[in-house]
Amino acid sequence: MKYAADTSGIFSRYDLSIEVARQNAREISKDALLQKVVERLVAGDEAGVEASVERALEHKGPMEVINEGLIPGMAEVSRLWAEGVYFLPQVILSSDAMMVGISMCEQRLGKPVEKKATVVTHTAEGDIHDIGQAIVNALLNASGFEVIDLGVDVPVEQVVEACRIHKPVMLAGTALMTTTMTAFPRTAARLRELNLDIPFVCGGGAVTEEFVTSFDLGIWGRDASQAPQMAEDAMNGMTWREMRAKWNG
């Protein structure tokens, strides 16, 4: 007699896990209006974010809605990503929903929200796998940074030139393959030649801590969710050596 194998410990419906997370969104704000903004943002519900932000703006200032609703909501999305509950589609949906909310608040302010600082991001020369970069961009944007997205398969000299022009507080690079991550030390060397000692966070695929910390400026990014806090460190004046000691120590 044959028995069916028990696969309950092997396979799981990730979409069901996501739905459970959405239904049990943590209380971020004691204010009902702002909590609704958080919940709709965590759900990646663009129309819901638009409606909840509109209601919140009837009683609160635009910066309060941003700082106590939209940004904490995206931080919750980042937590769910880091814990393996959310995946790329959920992060992107929430990021897009947040941009809608930010735009509404900017219209009420009558001017764009001032960005914290600039970060340049790219996928290494020869590499077209941009999933990691897309997540980094979404989380940095949601955290209030100006992101200069250079795209995929970006030549070393183009990365260096962007850093010279935009003067970012941090450079971020992703690579999936060992053959393309070799662009990172070449980029770092060119930056050093130009005295652009910018913290250079590298991650993705086969990229290892041992590899990234073998060249100047390099800081290994274990996970995309670290990007906003790393950018905060760079913005606050930490050198690449100090950031390496903190994140790769």
The SS3 assignment for 200 reads: strand
Backbone angles phi, psi at 5, to 5 degrees: -70, 145
Contact 141, 193 (CB under 8 A): no
What are the extents of the domains in the chain?
14-109, 118-248
* Band of residue 29 on the pLDDT scale cut at 50, 70, 90: confident
The CATH number given to 14-109 is 1.10.1240.10
52 burial class (0-12, 13-18, 19+ CB within 10 angstroms)? buried
Distance CA 147, CA 241 (A): 23
Q: Which tens digits make up the pLDDT trace of 38-78?
A: 999 999 999 999 999 999 999 999 999 998 999 889 888 88
* Band of residue 11 on the pLDDT scale cut at 50, 70, 90: very low
For residue 165, how far is the Cα from the chain centroid?
Answer: 22
Q: Which tens digits make up the pLDDT trace of 154-189?
A: 999 999 999 999 999 999 999 988 999 999 999 999
pTM score > 0.95 for this model?
no
Q: In what order do the strands lie in the sheet with 218-220?
A: 146-149, 118-123, 170-174, 200-203, 218-220
Amino acid residing at 38: V
CATH class of 118-248: alpha beta
pLDDT score, position 5 = 52
Checking if the pLDDT of 144 tops 90, the result is no
Q: Which tens digits make up the pLDDT trace of 196-247?
A: 999 999 999 889 999 999 999 999 999 888 999 999 999 999 999 999 999 9
Q: Angle at the Cα of 49 (from 44 to 50), degrees rounded to 5? A: 135
Task: Tell me which of 47 and 16 has the higher pLDDT.
Answer: 47
